[in-house]
């Protein structure tokens, strides 16, 4: 199955929510865990137990593992492997973006199904030119994986670049239109998605890319179901709202974490 097909199936089976695994220092402390590799390992293990096969999408943030060096990356690798093939799709948040053979190497590291850190999908940055992402799309296509491209991020610095214009087209608009072209004709939707923040306010960009829309900022960061309805309207069925603290604050109790996800999905489906 293509990533688009698997994503649609995961949304139908579990709901649209994506839970971020963001083991930053303050959250480790909230869970009563030390800010070291042992604490990281325990945090990740609890998340796997709580979410594997219970949540449609799980999004580990690579940076919070990498900060512990090689041992932290080992924990990330094991976390990805433990989550995959459980029904939950792993979206690895790495925001990679480079050119030529380097881009191809990143793609092989995260999207080749035989790689130790292979995920179901990754996030990438298009700001070396959309064409620089071709190796990611090619490797993803060969491995039925997905790629989420930054388009309209909710950080206040984002519009400086994303809203810049080339004639009548913004940078974000160009990214979205090229994703739509890649996904043209795909059923039930394409494998190549966009990252669009839940807290961007308003947009006149065409979000109908026939692909999944990963929407961070939902929940504790301020994004609401009303924001999602307003922003995404006719393409809301392709939206994967991502929340981290809004769910993880219920930890470290496994059942409380699962209950938190159930509530989030119920809120989203009811919207």
Which residues carry out catalysis? Answer: 95
Contact between 216 and 246 (Cβ < 8 Å): no
Is-cis flag, bond preceding 147, omega within 30? no
> Helix, strand, or coil here: 136?
helix
DSSP letters spanning 41-86: HHHHHHHHHHHTTTSSEEEEBHHHHHTTTHHHHHHHHHHHHHHTTS
Q: Which of 89, 29, 32 has the alpha carbon at shortest distance from 59?
A: 89
Between CA 11 and CA 55 the distance in angstroms is 9
Query: How far, rounded to the nearest angstrom, does the alpha carbon of residue 81 sit from its chain's CA centroid?
Result: 17
Report how far residue 79's alpha carbon sits from residue 88's, in angstroms, rounded to the nearest whole number: 12
């Amino acid at each position: 199955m293509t990533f688009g097909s698997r994503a649609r199936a995961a949304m139908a089976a579990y709901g649209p929510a994506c839970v971020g695994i963001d083991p930053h220092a303050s959250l480790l402390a909230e869970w009563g865990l030390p800010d070291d590799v042992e604490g990281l390992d325990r945090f990740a293990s609890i998340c796997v137990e709580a979410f594997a096969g219970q949540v449609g999408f799980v999004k580990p943030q690579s940076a919070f593992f990498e900060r512990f060096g090689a041992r932290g990356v080992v924990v990330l690798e094991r976390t990805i492997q433990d989550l995959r093939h459980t029904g939950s799709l792993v979206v690895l948040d790495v925001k990679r973006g480079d050119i030529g053979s380097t881009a191809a190497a990143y793609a092989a590291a995260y999207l080749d199904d035989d790689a130790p850190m292979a995920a179901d999908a990754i996030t990438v940055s298009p700001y070396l030119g959309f064409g620089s992402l071709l190796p990611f799309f090619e490797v993803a296509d060969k491995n039925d994986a997905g790629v989420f491209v930054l388009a309209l991020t909710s950080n206040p610095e984002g519009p400086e670049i994303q809203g810049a214009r080339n004639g009548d087209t913004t940078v974000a608009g160009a990214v979205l239109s090229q994703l739509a072209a890649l996904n043209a004709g795909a059923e039930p939707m394409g494998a190549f998605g966009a990252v669009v923040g839940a807290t961007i306010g308003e947009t006149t960009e065409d979000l109908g890319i026939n692909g999944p829309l990963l929407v961070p900022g939902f929940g504790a960061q301020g994004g609401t179901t009303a924001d999602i309805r307003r922003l995404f309207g006719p393409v809301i069925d392709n939206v994967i709202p991502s929340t981290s603290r809004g769910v993880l604050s219920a930890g470290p109790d496994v059942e409380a974490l699962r209950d938190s996800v159930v509530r989030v999905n119920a809120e989203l489906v009811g919207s």
